[in-house]
């Protein structure tokens, strides 16, 4: 598979929506799912924190991962945003084709 699933969180749904829209507009992702109100428990600067965040599931082609990272970092308010890239072991051929088609730039289509 030449797809990647990227996980990141944001402090709220508005930041999540802004990031999702930018990734889609730039064709750096075919789909971004936003799961609102997930609870995160983590250690930050020697303190255990509990926050409600929005989880983003970003579906893209592997070739767009680094560009997507730059877009997310430019819009993200966190000092250290979550950025986990998962390479799927399997998936349907038709879904992979759709993701690849939707992340092609106009230049690549000609």
Q: What angle do CA 21, 22, 27 make, to 5 degrees?
A: 100
pLDDT of residue 90: 94
Per-residue pLDDT of 51-62, as tens digits, reads 999 999 999 999
Instruction: Report how far residue 58's alpha carbon sits from residue 34's, in angstroms, rounded to the nearest whole number.
Output: 9
pTM beyond 0.85, yes or no: yes
CATH architecture, domain defined by 3-92: 2-Layer Sandwich (3.30)
For range 46-75, the mean pLDDT:
97
CB count within 10 Å of CB 72 equals 24
**Domain locations in the chain as residue ranges:** 3-92
pLDDT of residue 97: 94
Per-residue pLDDT of 79-93, as tens digits, reads 999 999 999 999 999
């Amino acid at each position: 598979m030449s797809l990647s699933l990227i996980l990141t969180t944001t402090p709220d749904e508005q930041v999540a929506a802004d990031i999702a829209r930018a990734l889609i507009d730039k064709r750096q992702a075919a789909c971004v799912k936003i799961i609102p109100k997930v609870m995160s428990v983590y250690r930050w600067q020697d303190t255990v924190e509990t926050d409600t965040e929005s989880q983003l599931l970003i579906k893209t082609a592997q070739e767009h991962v680094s560009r997507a990272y730059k877009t997310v970092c430019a819009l993200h308010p966190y000092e250290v945003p979550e950025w986990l890239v998962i390479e799927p072991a399997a998936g349907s051929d038709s879904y992979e084709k759709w993701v690849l088609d939707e992340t092609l730039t106009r230049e690549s289509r000609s």
